[in-house]
Amino acid sequence: HDVSVIELEVDEQKENGIVQTMGGKRRLLIIDDDDVLRTYLVRRLELDGYKVDEASDVPSAKLLLRQQAYDLITLDLMMYPQSGYELFDFLKEDPTLKWVPLIVLSGRDDLSDKVRCFHLGADDYVTKPFQYEELAARIYGIVKRTKNFEELAFRDPLTAVFNRRYFDHQIQLELERVQRYPSAISLAFIDIDNFKRINDRHGHHTGDLVLQGLAHLLQTRMRSTDLVFRFGGEEFVVVMPGTGAEAAAESLRALLGMAHLQPIVSDEGEDYWITFSAGVSAWHPDLSIDEWILKADQAMYRAKQDGKDRIYI
Ligand code: GH3
Ligand code: MG
Ligand code: MG
Ligand code: MG
């Protein structure tokens, strides 16, 4: 059997100090028909803190990819009866798999294979034999970059809370969860009162600080399982899993009480105070997502009409 992996001497590894592990379990899929290599890779990667699944051919890889989300795939090209190339089309056609990072791990050192794989969407190409440490470093780098990128795409740059795009994505998952494991879930629509006046009197920069201040208050004072989103200008949405409407309204009233007691932001010796109005609605099985959001929005609107600075259900 040819040796696909060049093993570094153990002390060499230590001296180099290059073995980096990934915080939080990331899940990898190793697709290779070489049993020895695959088993070796799975063992090393698991020791480095990854969860690792393996497939020895394209059909079983497809099966796994349909059942499980992966943070990265390594793909062998020469496999039987279907070559690794046959997986590219499968990945490309599925919107949930299209962006999964992929490293080709192949014995083929041809320029044409490399060029073809990158055109097909591979993120990296490593030729066998390879050193484990180099592959691990490449996996680490790609997974980290992908995570940073996803993180950026889902956050509002001004306040660092989640953005509306992430809300659309996450609310779907939250609802699927409560449909499967029934429990309460509430949503609050929050809108700062007279925010335009803050901008007009003190300038846009102060307005921005106020938005950051409220985002911080929401992020730090709500439960850690609550999700905070900036929905638009001075509107925030909080999703509260496991919380009924009354309890949700109560925790927002407590927050409004804090805003009454202390300025939302102090900047260069100036204190800025705000109040906000909020509408809360609990989900129930007859409500679509849009109806659920609308209910909270309408409750917020009533709170505004009745004089602001209050929370309605
Ligand atoms: P109400 O009490 O009825 O909610 O009135 P309001 O003044 O808070 O609401 P309105 O919707 O009239 O004004 C919202 C303002 O928010 C208008 C817009 O200029 C400002 N705004 C939106 N996005 C930002 C932002 O990112 N930074 C700052 N500083 N202002 C913003
Ligand atoms: Mg092979
Ligand atoms: Mg508004
Ligand atoms: Mg407002």
| ipTM of this predicted structure | 0.93
- Structure tokens given for 271: 């204190």
Condensed to tens digits (0 to 9), the pLDDT of residues 140-187 reads 999 989 888 877 889 999 999 999 999 998 999 899 889 888 999 999
Q: Counting Cβ atoms within 10 Å, is residue 170 exposed (0-12), middle (13-18) or buried (19+)?
A: middle
Best residue among 193, 208, 234, 302 to mutate for probing ligand 1, ranked by most atoms within 8 Å of CB = 234
Which of 84, 22, 83, 17 minimizes the C-alpha distance to 52? 22
Residue pair 90/55 in contact by the 8 Å Cβ criterion? no
Ligand 1 near 156 CB (within 6 A): no
CB-facing half-sphere around the CA of 312: CA atoms within 13 A: 18
What percentage of the chain's residues is helix, strand, coil (to nearest 5)? 45, 20, 30
Task: Give the largest Cα separation in the chain, rounded.
Answer: 80
What are the DSSP E strand ranges found in the chain? 5-6, 27-31, 51-55, 72-75, 102-106, 124-127, 130-131, 185-192, 227-232, 235-241, 265-267, 270-272, 276-282, 311-312
Ligand 1 near 196 CB (within 6 A): yes
Ligand nearest to the CA of 200: 1
Residues 19 and 173: their CA atoms lie apart, in Å, by: 35
Ligand 1 near 204 CB (within 6 A): yes
- The residue whose C-alpha atom lies closest to atom 17 belonging to ligand 1 is 196
Beta-bridge mates of residue 75? 31, 104
Condensed to tens digits (0 to 9), the pLDDT of residues 106-144 reads 999 999 999 999 999 999 999 999 999 999 999 999 998
Which of 155, 154, 143, 138 minimizes the C-alpha distance to 23? 143
Task: Name the residue type at position 133.
Answer: E
Condensed to tens digits (0 to 9), the pLDDT of residues 60-114 reads 999 999 998 899 999 999 999 999 999 999 999 988 898 899 999 999 999 999 9
**Whether pTM exceeds 0.90:** no
